[in-house]
């Protein structure tokens, strides 16, 4: 038993330092908490980030003036804690203000085939059994990723040439359409798949918010998840996107949509403790402390960084908050053309940058005649007009053995298109 564990065990026998009444059941940030005080402490963090007038009860307000808030539920531990906390906030408002609510809550679940936990419908049913929501204005909406087919006309072939430039060609798909999962399955690298999947999920989430007429999006990222995001974006060559990915604030000036991360001050370990205290473990299975180590070669970039923070957290606990704080101080590209693949703004020409530092020309001496390369990638031609592509998407494409990919023409999802695929929990 380490000294730290021994100290924790000795402090658990103490009384809670907040209420000074109940027996402490856990230690968080070196402080002994009873269950109720710990839940209050975590919910306090969520309340603090939603303190503005937008979420307060407004007497005499018309239906249109009530804020509509979309909570993106991944059915993972963090978003479950956020949902539980926001529902408790609505309950408190209803009690204090005679059944009035400060805002309408729409819980959106993007059902991806890779989801390991319960299926969304089952999850919602079990949640409703555990947490009373019948007297509140909480709606559950599900978007099944594979229900949406992108027609052949909406798809194009993207190809990177030897000069790292993007050529756009007509679609080469066999059938009439492709699902989002089929789009992602084109890529063999696990990291590339995750990179594109996170971009699609984020855009779907914002698209759903717009189609459901919500002005705010709540994302349940914990502090640990945000720290992983900062390093992961850096490692994937998306350093210029960190500012946008971490800030509470507008998604873009024209969308009018605002994003909030209410659990940005809560560590993943605290999320797990909250779930245990609130008896929600039947909804989200928690990882055992002795989790099996992943094989290095089978890991994606994100998984490696998760493992890094798990390992480093024992000796350098402050690292997670340090990384999130510095990430929050960064700014993103504000002016540029959108990347044809991920839609992020590109301010310079990353292919020029790559050509400068990666020479692809052979050595020529007089004695050897260099044959024309039989490269599968097409040679660049100066008179072609190349499409905008960001650095990270170039890398994602270049490392793939197949030299081209099928991809939708539009990089965002139109709200009217999404509308027909969103289903109510009651449907």
Partner 1 sequence: MSTARVPRAKILCELCHDRKAIMKRPKNLQKICKECFYHVFETEIHNTIIDANLFQRGEKVAIGASGGKDSTVLASVLKTLNERYDYGLELVLLSIDEGIVGYRDDSLATVKRNQKQYDMHLEIVSYKDLFKWSMDEIVACAGVRSSCTYCGVMRRQALDRGATKLGISHVVTGHNADDMAETVLMNLLRGDTGRLEKSVNILTESSGSPVKRSKPFKYTYQKEIVLYAHYKKLDYFSTECTYAPEAFRGTARVLLKNLEAVRPSCIIDIIRSGEQLKLRPKKQRMRVSAVAQEVEVKRDGSVSLKPESSNTCERCGYLSNNRICQACFLLEGLEKNRAKVLIEGGNTAIAGAAKITRELEALSF
Contacting residues toward partner 1, per CB under 8 A:
189, 191, 230-231, 233-240, 242-243, 296-297, 299-301, 304-305, 308, 311-312, 316, 319, 322-323, 325-327, 329-331, 333, 350, 353, 356-365, 368-375, 391-392, 395, 398-399
Q: How far is the CB of 306 from partner 1 (least distance, A)?
A: 11
Q: How many CB atoms lie within 10 A of CB 360?
A: 12
Complex with partner 1: residue 255 or 360, whichever CB lies closer: 360
Give the pair of three-digit tokens for residue 322.
């340090």
Q: Are 271 and 341 in contact (CB under 8 A)?
A: no
Residues 220 and 82: beta-carbon distance below 8 Å:
yes
At residue 107, φ and ψ (nearest 5 deg) are: -95, 120
408, 155 contact by CB (below 8 A): yes
- Nearest distance in Å: CB 91, partner 1: 37
d(CA 163, CA 381): 9
Distance from C-alpha of 123 to C-alpha of 205, rounded to nearest angstrom: 19
Q: How many other CB atoms are there within 10 angstroms of residue 249's CB atom?
A: 11
**DSSP structure string for 279-304:** T-TTTSPPPPTTPPPPPGGG--HHHH
Residue 325: CB minimum distance to partner 1, A: 6
* CB closer to partner 1 out of 15 and 322: 322
Residue for token digits 């085939």?
Answer: 113
Closest to partner 1 by CB, 135 or 376: 376
Longest pairwise C-alpha distance within the chain: 91
* Distance in Å, CB of 368 to partner 1, minimum: 5
Here the tokens at position 297 are 């070669």
Q: How far is the CB of 402 from partner 1 (least distance, A)?
A: 15
If the CB atoms of residues 51 and 368 are measured against partner 1, the closer one turns out to be 368
Shortest reach from residue 45's CB to partner 1, in Å: 20
Q: Give kind and range of the element (H or E) at residue 359.
A: none
Closest approach of Cβ 7 to partner 1, in Å? 22
For residue 364, the minimal CB distance to partner 1 (Å) is 8
Tokens 């510095």 found at? 326
Please say which residue, 250 or 420, places its beta carbon nearer to partner 1: 250
* Minimum CB distance to partner 1 smaller for 25 or for 333: 333
Our CB check for partner 1 shows the closer of 370 and 402 to be: 370
327 close to 232: Cβ distance less than 8 angstroms? no
Cα–Cα dist 95/131, whole Å? 16
- Nearest residue (CB) to partner 1, 282 versus 294: 294
């Amino acid at each position: 038993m380490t000294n730290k564990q021994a100290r924790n065990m000795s402090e658990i026998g103490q009384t809670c330092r907040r209420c000074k009444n109940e027996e402490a059941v856990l230690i968080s940030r070196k402080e002994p908490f009873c269950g109720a005080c710990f839940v209050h402490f975590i919910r306090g963090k969520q309340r603090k980030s939603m303190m503005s007038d937008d979420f307060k009860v407004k007497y005499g307000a018309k239906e249109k003036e009530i804020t509509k808030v979309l909570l993106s539920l991944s059915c993972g531990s963090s978003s479950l804690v956020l949902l539980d906390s926001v529902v408790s906030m609505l309950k408190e408002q209803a009690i204090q203000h005679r059944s009035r609510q400060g805002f309408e809550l729409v819980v959106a679940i993007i059902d991806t085939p890779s989801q390991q936990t319960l299926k969304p419908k089952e999850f919602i049913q079990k949640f409703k059994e555990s947490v009373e929501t019948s007297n509140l204005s909480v709606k559950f909406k599900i978007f099944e990723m594979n229900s949406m087919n992108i027609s052949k006309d909406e798809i194009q072939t993207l190809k990177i040439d030897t000069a790292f430039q993007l050529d756009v060609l007509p679609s080469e798909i066999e059938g009439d359409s492709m699902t989002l999962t089929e789009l992602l399955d084109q890529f063999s690298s696990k990291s590339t798949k995750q990179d594109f999947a996170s971009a699609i999920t984020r855009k779907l989430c914002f698209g759903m918010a717009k189609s459901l007429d919500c002005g705010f999006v709540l994302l349940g990222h914990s502090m640990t998840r945000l720290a992983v995001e900062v390093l992961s974006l850096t490692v994937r060559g998306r350093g210029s996107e960190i500012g946008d990915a971490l800030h509470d604030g507008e998604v873009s000036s024209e969308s009018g949509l605002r994003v909030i991360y209410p659990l940005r001050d809560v560590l993943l370990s605290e999320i797990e403790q909250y779930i245990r205290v609130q008896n929600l473990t039947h909804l989200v299975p928690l990882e055992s402390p002795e989790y099996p180590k992943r094989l290095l070669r089978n890991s994606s970039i994100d998984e490696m960084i998760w493992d890094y923070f798990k390992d480093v957290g024992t000796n350098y606990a402050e690292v997670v908050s340090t990384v999130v704080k510095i990430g929050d101080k960064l700014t993103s590209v504000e002016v540029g053309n959108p990347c044809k693949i991920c839609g992020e703004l590109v301010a310079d020409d990353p292919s020029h940058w790559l050509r400068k530092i990666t020479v692809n020309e052979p050595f020529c001496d007089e004695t050897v005649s260099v044959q024309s390369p039989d490269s599968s990638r097409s040679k660049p031609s100066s008179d072609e007009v190349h499409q905008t592509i960001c650095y990270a998407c170039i890398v994602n494409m270049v490392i793939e053995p197949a030299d081209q990919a099928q991809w939708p023409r539009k990089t965002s999802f139109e709200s009217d298109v999404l509308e027909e695929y969103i289903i109510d929990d009651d449907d």
